[in-house]
Homo-oligomer: A and B are copies of this chain.
Amino acid sequence: MPPNPIDAKTKKESPLYRKIADTLLSGIRDGLFPVGSLLPGELELIERFSSSRHTIREALRVLEDMGIVKRQRGRGTLVISTEARPSFVQAVRDPRELFTYPENSAFRVLVEGRVADEDHWPSKIGEGVDENWARIAGLRTLHDGSPFCWTDIYVLPDYAAIAQQLGRTKRPVYEQIAETFGETVQRISVEICAGSLRGERAKALLVDEGTPSLVLYRRYCGNGNRLFEVSVTEHPADSFSYSLEFNRGWQAAEHWSWSK
């Protein structure tokens, strides 16, 4: 039996460079190193942490990858952000981080949907929905910061087991997936297509028939490219925009915004 990834996260000791990164991040968040200021030089950090320069640099590399600092040769390490990017991409860097994903994240599962057979997926998404769907869709105006209008969860091969947990406990998706399938998420793919809101869905979202929409498909793959989760989200176009920002260093950040 593969080891429980959650155990691996809680019981496994973090490497030193990661601890140092965490400590520095705490200092940044506590205002010790405000945004716009320069972090102490590597030599000073070596003394402060009683560590080697390589370890310090590894820690700074972590922060750079997180988008917290920006290193500039000959100048120093500039603090550019107090918070890690609110992107699920971050969570994928180290599978263990998937389980520390914040509860109020945009990727929290707000709703449970209803399974549809594979033939209906994904073109006929929405067919066969029950009262749960309508209830969730009606929550649109209550969503202050969340981009979700509704989320239908399709899980292969075992939908019932996870959908119930996801819907009821509202715990992070990745955690649930790992618990249910005993695998950690290794790859996430997002596909974005343009759609058109019709019939029931348009009515539930209080928009006109044929309103343009964005449809986001997410697929989560585990070890060995095993697909074990798919979620679909649709957003009316007149009120939703999805943006992705890439910085140097392979960082990516997602942003959702509502606009009328």
A245 at the interface (CB under 8 A from B): yes
Please report the C-alpha to C-alpha distance between residue A92 and residue B246 in the assembled complex, in whole angstroms: 8
Q: With contacts A210-B210, A212-B213, A213-B212 known, is A93 near B248, CB below 8 A?
A: yes
Q: Is the CB of A196 within 8 A of B214?
A: no
A14 at the interface (CB under 8 A from B): no
Chain B residues with CB under 8 Å of A247's CB are 92, 186-187
Q: Is the CB of B189 within 8 A of A245?
A: yes
Q: Is the CB of B194 within 8 A of A243?
A: no
Q: Is the CB of B214 within 8 A of A192?
A: yes
For chain A, the count of residues having a C-beta within 8 Å of the partner chain is 37
Give the interface segment out of A5-13, A20-28, A131-139, A249-257: A249-257
Partner of A237 from the list B187, B189, B193, B241 (CB cut-off 8 Å) is B193
Please report the C-alpha to C-alpha distance between residue A244 and residue B60 in the assembled complex, in whole angstroms: 28
A 55-106 contacts with B by CB, 8 A: 65, 88-89, 92-95
A242 at the interface (CB under 8 A from B): yes
Copies of this polypeptide in the complex: 2
A45 at the interface (CB under 8 A from B): no
A119 at the interface (CB under 8 A from B): no
Please report the C-alpha to C-alpha distance between residue A194 and residue B149 in the assembled complex, in whole angstroms: 15
A195 at the interface (CB under 8 A from B): yes
A227 at the interface (CB under 8 A from B): no
Q: Is the CB of B241 within 8 A of A187?
A: no
A191 at the interface (CB under 8 A from B): yes
Q: List 28 A-B contacts (CB under 8 A).
A: A88-B246, A89-B246, A89-B252, A93-B248, A186-B247, A186-B248, A187-B248, A188-B245, A189-B243, A190-B243, A191-B244, A192-B192, A192-B214, A192-B242, A192-B243, A193-B214, A193-B241, A193-B242, A194-B195, A194-B212, A194-B240, A195-B237, A196-B212, A210-B210, A212-B212, A212-B213, A214-B214, A249-B250
Chain A residues within 8 Å of B, Cβ to Cβ: 65, 88-89, 92-95, 186-196, 210, 212-214, 235, 237, 240-252
